[in-house]
Chain A
Amino acid sequence: MATTQRQIDLLTGNEAVSAAVKQIRPDVIAVYPITPSTHIAEMLAQAVDAGELDSEFVKVESEHSAMATCIGAVAAGGRAFTATASQGLLYMAENIFWAGYGRLPMVAAVVNRALAPGWSIWVDHQDTMAMRDAGWGQFYVKNNQEAYDTVIQAYKIAEDHNVYFPFMVALDGFVLSHTASPVEFLTQEEVEEFVPPFNPLFRLHPSEPMSFGAISKPDEYIAMREDLMKSMERAKKVIQDVNIEFAKKFGRDWGGLIEVVGPEDAEIGIVTMSTLAEEAEVAAEQLTKEGMSTSVTRIRSFRPFPGEELAKQISKYDIAIVIDRAISFGNAGQIYIETNSALRDYDVDTKLIGTVMGIGGQDIAYGDIIERVKNLTKKA
């Protein structure tokens, strides 16, 4: 660990994200306000106004335009950032796919919030889950420190030429975005050393006329999508390497693709994401004390999906409970569906049970998770 004296402050999730973005210093920040991500826009706009941050802050008229502005900025060889939530992410959707399929690396903080109708400003993961096929990487963080660290890591990963696609950093609305907890900062020098300046693979410029996204014949189109799929595969190693480098330099290890907390030889596994996973760590300790040896397998990177790593970990359990905070209506929770498919791919026969908790902002305490695990394992 470095000996540098680092500052610690009490930050909400939104403040943690903004702090990281200020140190990343994007060329362009384009944000449209939406609860619960609005503070991010406010804090960054104020920093630009005050001259603390030398970014172009574009006060766009919609989320669709926020993402479009980021797209233009990255295609010009700039670094871009946006933040949104819920309906805002859905309004952006067309351009979210444009950025993903267009291979325009950038970072978007998505403060997870349920979708209407039935207005709900509280957390669930339906918004980001709806974007899981957009060609973006998706990180789901469990606390404010990880939100800060992951925004910084995400730029390094997205801009890596072996990766080169955009990333979302998803944090739970209110549960993280508005809740204060201690966050340790890296120094500006550390951030700049860890995330080198953006070196674009391509940019549009009059000196070299070319067309971005012109009409493509099926073979050309397929080649581009195959390349995206391969890059997603390559990204897995980059994510792990960046996590290791970060841990070595700054002392915090978030697990890379997945994080396992609890006894090595646990019989029961809880597979989930975000704050539910950290809450589940407490539940697992309690269950283990009560004689039901349990550990938590947290999916940190939902895209690329760590199928192999998950299957390997789950194969150690007798039974695994997957907790989703979103639903693919007509089927099941998305984590459950994808985990189940990974188990089949790698011939793992651990019993897998899916369950949904905490949608529409339902408050989930570790006691609720204990109860759910007990009920489901009893039935199994």
Chain B
Amino acid sequence: MLHEIAIIGRGGQGVVSMAKMMAYAALMEGKHGSAIPKYGAERRGAPVISSFRISDEPLRMHSQIRKPDHMIILEIGALPKLIPPQPLKDNSIVAVNYPSTPNIMAKYNPSIVAYLDAAALARKVGLVRSGIPIPSVPMMAAFAKASGLLQQESLIKAVPKLVRNEEMIKINIEAIKKAFEETEVKKFDRIEESTPVA
């Protein structure tokens, strides 16, 4: 089955390499993953979206994902600009870098929300670049936990494909493990705007 995932964040948060890491993990599981970055006049801090497809069959689509099945949100503030607020498809999963379910989720109405304070986790394990925590790898793990589309071991095995430094490999693996432990997964029939922030 084909799953189309939009990865939303800001320039410098590691969106592109995270999508590639997921594609490696898919490859290791005998699945087909394709990471399609959207290139433009990129700059640090600008909202960025990247498309990720995963399927049991070879992938033939090259276009950007416009109506995602699922979303991985590294920075909630970048979301409404990139994906206009409207209900997602049925059975959609959203992983969000936030200490709880953000109120704006009501407008997207996902079936599952996985939340993780990935920035705090990144800081804790040492996933920091130029003083800024990099939430991408923990959020990848959070999504994997909630969706079951990728296994923890394959994500761990994918790390050295993109990270060369031994110390950084350890830190990334630690981040994946911790994220699997700390991510809260909540199921919803319908999220009300008034849903209390947990």
Contact = CB atoms under 8 A, between A and B. Distances in A.
Name the prevailing secondary structure of the B interface residues. Answer: mixed
Interface stretch (A155-163, A274-282, A342-350): A274-282
Q: Choose among B35, B60, B61 the residue with the greatest number of A CB atoms under 10 Å from its CB.
A: B60
A121 B39 contact: yes
Interface of B: 19-20, 23-24, 27, 32-37, 39, 59-64, 66, 161
Given A10-B20, A180-B34, 9 more contacts: A8-B27, A10-B23, A10-B33, A175-B62, A181-B33, A181-B34, A278-B60, A278-B62, A279-B63
B24 A10 contact: yes
A172 B161 contact: no
A182 B32 contact: yes
Contacts of A365: 61, 63-64, 66
24 contacts: A10-B20, A10-B23, A10-B33, A10-B161, A36-B39, A143-B60, A174-B37, A174-B39, A175-B36, A178-B39, A181-B33, A182-B27, A275-B62, A278-B61, A278-B62, A279-B62, A279-B63, A281-B60, A363-B63, A364-B63, A365-B61, A365-B63, A366-B61, A366-B63
B61 A179 contact: no
Contacts, number: 57
B60 A179 contact: no
Given A179-B34, A179-B35, A172 B23 contact: no
Given A121-B39, A174-B39, A178-B39, A279 B60 contact: yes
Interface of A: 8, 10, 36, 121-122, 143, 172, 174-176, 178-182, 275, 278-279, 281-282, 363-366, 368
A182 to B, nearest CB: 5
Contacts of B34: 179-181
A296 B39 CA distance: 28
Contacts of A279: 60-63
Contacts of B64: 363, 365
